[in-house]
Chain A
């Protein structure tokens, strides 16, 4: 979340809703933070991001899973 920032536009209604949500539930300091969190979660969920592992290591894991009958 560091580095350059760009601006994006969202509807005022949604912005106000998000602001209210944060006020009521906490957890985020700003609407920006909430939006970044949700986008990161959504993108990561589709790409499986967050686990850095080489293809060889992945194969080793699969080997163990197969030997234990999980795969």
Chain B
């Protein structure tokens, strides 16, 4: 059987049927707070169990515990604060005990039962979560832009924020039932924000060799200029899976989740989330969720030593390269040959080639995958 949800129980807080209708009509009288897409995404990730055992945005006790100890007050590992920020003006007239309606694009999104309103020190937050106070770090910069108060409390989702990739989106309850139906006991999860090249394929297949199934989860949501578009990543993976993987060993499904570039802390967070999806193993890349040179190359691996009680096994797979002497894809651990024999599979180089409309060589990228990108016309975020 697959992993138990983090904390023991899968959280499901999506309003349905009569109760949804009743609360929706009561919501007209509630104070409301308009949130952006990032908080709307958090709300859905909470309500659909991706962030189990969280049932809402963190109250101060939880926030400080996660910040200082990387654990919830009950000692369960949790490394990334999940917080709802608001300004003093927006919270005028809102008190502890009130129900607060969250709106996204003016439409009802979720109801938060306010349990706590508290201030936070963004510089301390940055230091602890990102290990830097440098606003040049994208996560720090985003932190400094957030508002001055935090609202904690359990939430219930009224409607999901619109999702262009809905038909490729599966939530923990769904993947768990799917794995059960397929009879998978050991499931390895792979997170990506890229079109797959042979290095990725090698790593996935290495992990698949000793597990029953592979969950490929492109992360959608916030993107920066020059990133592959979400639909390009999905189509590219479909092509790869169709042509190069056996039937019924891969589940491809998109996860909409915010990305903070918090390096090691975020690597653990990503593992916890995949545990909730039912994965027993999670592939952690070198410099996973890193940016620039804020984190050491192996920090995202080292941090896992502090969490023997995580409940999902991290797999630290070394970067793959092509070795002419070995005659195939290999990694540091299994190839004894010198750099003169090795060809690095660089995502950056492949991206440049594709941008120029060139087809990367076949030892770098499968032709069917390259075809998807080249045939798209506009594969990158502008």
With beta carbons under 8 angstroms apart, the residue of B10, B181, B306, B307 that contacts A51 is: B10
Q: Are B308 and A26 in contact (CB under 8 A)?
A: yes
Q: How far is the CB of B193 from chain A (nearest CB, A)?
A: 22
Q: Are B1 and A46 in contact (CB under 8 A)?
A: yes
Q: Are B178 and A48 in contact (CB under 8 A)?
A: no
Mask of B154-190 contacts with A, CB within 8 angstroms, 1/0: 0000000000000100100110111011000000000
Report Cα–Cα, A47/B173, bound state, in Å: 15
B178 proximity list for chain A (CB < 8 A)? 65, 70-71
Q: Are B306 and A58 in contact (CB under 8 A)?
A: no
With beta carbons under 8 angstroms apart, the residue of A21, A27, A50, A64 that contacts B174 is: A64
A26 proximity list for chain B (CB < 8 A)? 306, 308
With beta carbons under 8 angstroms apart, the residue of B2, B181, B306 that contacts A71 is: B181
Max chain A CB contacts within 10 Å: which of B180, B181, B307? B181
Q: How far is the CB of A39 from chain B (nearest CB, A)?
A: 12
Q: How far is the CB of A47 from chain B (nearest CB, A)?
A: 7
Closest chain B residue to A62, Cβ basis: B177
Q: Are B1 and A65 in contact (CB under 8 A)?
A: no
Closest chain B residue to A43, Cβ basis: B4
Q: Are B173 and A51 in contact (CB under 8 A)?
A: yes
Q: How far is the CB of B20 from chain A (nearest CB, A)?
A: 15
Whether B136 is near chain A, meaning CB under 8 Å from some CB there, is: no
Q: Are A25 and B305 in contact (CB under 8 A)?
A: yes
Report Cα–Cα, A23/B307, bound state, in Å: 13
Report Cα–Cα, A62/B177, bound state, in Å: 7
Max chain B CB contacts within 10 Å: which of A27, A46, A51? A51
Q: Are B173 and A27 in contact (CB under 8 A)?
A: no
Closest chain B residue to A28, Cβ basis: B309
Max chain A CB contacts within 10 Å: which of B4, B5, B8, B167? B4
A21 proximity list for chain B (CB < 8 A)? 308
A45 proximity list for chain B (CB < 8 A)? 1-4
Using a CB-CB cutoff of 8 Å, which residues 33-71 of chain A contact chain B? 37, 40-41, 44-53, 58, 61-62, 64-65, 68, 70-71
Closest chain A residue to B4, Cβ basis: A44
With beta carbons under 8 angstroms apart, the residue of A51, A53, A70 that contacts B170 is: A70
Report Cα–Cα, A21/B305, bound state, in Å: 12
Q: How large is the interface on B (under 10, 10 to 19, 20 to 34, 35 or more residues)?
A: 20 to 34
Contact status of A27 and B9, CB under 8 A, knowing A58-B177, A61-B173: no
Report Cα–Cα, A49/B305, bound state, in Å: 27
Q: Are A50 and B173 in contact (CB under 8 A)?
A: no
Using a CB-CB cutoff of 8 Å, which residues 1-48 of chain B contact chain A? 1-5, 8-10, 12
With beta carbons under 8 angstroms apart, the residue of B1, B8, B174 that contacts A40 is: B8
Whether B251 is near chain A, meaning CB under 8 Å from some CB there, is: yes
Whether B297 is near chain A, meaning CB under 8 Å from some CB there, is: no
Closest chain A residue to B167, Cβ basis: A68
Whether B311 is near chain A, meaning CB under 8 Å from some CB there, is: yes
Max chain A CB contacts within 10 Å: which of B3, B8, B308, B311? B308
A37 proximity list for chain B (CB < 8 A)? 309
B309 proximity list for chain A (CB < 8 A)? 27-28, 37
Closest chain B residue to A64, Cβ basis: B174
Contact status of A27 and B4, CB under 8 A, knowing A51-B173, A65-B174, A70-B251: no
Q: How far is the CB of A70 from chain B (nearest CB, A)?
A: 6
A47 proximity list for chain B (CB < 8 A)? 1
> Which positions in A face B, CB cutoff 8 Å?
21, 25-29, 37, 40-41, 44-53, 58, 61-62, 64-65, 68, 70-71
Q: What are the 7 tightest A-B residue pairs by CB atom distance, in nearest-first order?
A: A27-B309, A44-B4, A25-B308, A27-B308, A50-B4, A50-B5, A51-B10
Q: 9 other contacts beyond A40-B4, A47-B1, with CB at 8 A cut-off?
A: A27-B306, A27-B308, A45-B3, A52-B10, A62-B181, A65-B174, A68-B167, A70-B174, A71-B178
